[in-house]
Structure 1
């Protein structure tokens, strides 16, 4: 109820009383009091109507309930993200321990484990298989290396999982490295080896140290040894028959390439100047010649 309605109601009662008194006394004021009372009553009714229209409209809307984020759930999600970044294998392990640990895992876990340390720097060591123009081919388990060439290992594949190809940043670091040298090296893990299928690769490699292999005594060749050697044999097979490495007289191409050609010479037993020459292409004997062998 508004203030106007209250005042109008009070005025109505006042005029009603005055009208009643005037009516009893029968004077001419009765008509005026009646009109004033009627007017105040009308004002009262209007005031009541206005008050009703100003009432706030009630709604049935209910507050939307929000689901609070559980602190435990957030903590778990954060923990999973943190765990995903943790290396799943120790990169400080030497190559033989690192590779054997990875290969011992289920095949389905090996890729995930390697991905957790991909691009991390490792420091390993091994025996030089051969040095290319910008890559060093290293056998990671020196005790199991029998002097095989890279072309033999890559063709046979049995030992590929133990080979590390180090892509060096500075090519000059490969100068003077020869088959059989022991080297320590570092680099970023690029791709993993798979037993009997593929080799390891390190990028931005660096040669940390080297131990030059003791030179082997050059073998001397006899006519009997010469006759045992057949085209298609590898350099390692020929050297084993003769009893030592030969002297490289010439080479064409890059080591590891199937067209890489090299000629080796051996001193012979027999007359003055006895010798034998062997030409290999792709590490397979293509031609041989001898002079004065007995």
Structure 2
């Protein structure tokens, strides 16, 4: 439309951009031409009495149409490539595109309704509609790191579990918070034992309605807590989902580096505390090493902890 508006202004010195009636005629003809160019190499734009009694008759080739809209076509390729990647398909795997976008959503809703109600009959008995989790779901662990439990695009309903442990010695309570800050709860009365000993199983379950149930159980005491997160708690709009997915993709490499740094830090810290416990345990090394050796080890361990405190943002390669 912009092309023809500029063409008319240049040829007739007439600006029709404020003429709603003329724009309506031009829009209908442009839509017809766009559809025709899907199967033809050239069409003619024909509009009688478009403005001030003047007709518009202008040929439009597919090549010119593609050139005018190339920026829009390139923008559409991003979602297409993303859809292929999510489906684990290559372009060569696609032989035909048979989906009418105007009907796809309505058709899917009708079929899903028929399946859920059981009134679809023979026409829907062999149809399977699969819904997926639009975002990865997980919990926030030490250092603000997100640990995935259910990856994005997992078919729902689904149920997945991961085992976590305590971060500090004698820790008796852990906080479970989903990565999108929709819900949080505490699992308490964990036996006061060295860190890493308790086995806390966290289960994420998403049902067919998209309702998320999060459950944490101490495998030792069998104590458990849970929370249910429904769409009423917070339902993302389409734009919010797009923004969160965009942010996740944009910061994927940065998140990977942060994870490596936190994992390296946690690994070193765990090693230091385990070593401190080992050299002071009579059943391990306490009575098997010389006092001078023990003192040197304790000094080295102390220096390692001090280094960790003074270098919170050190890269993975900078660890002692």
Q: Same fold (TM over 0.5)?
A: no
TM-score, with length taken from structure 1? 0.23
TM-score, with length taken from structure 2? 0.22
Q: Which of the two has greater helix per residue? A: 2
Tell me which of the two structures has the higher relative contact order, counting C-alpha pairs closer than 8 angstroms and 6 or more residues apart.
1
Larger Rg: 1
Q: Which of the two has greater strand per residue? A: 1
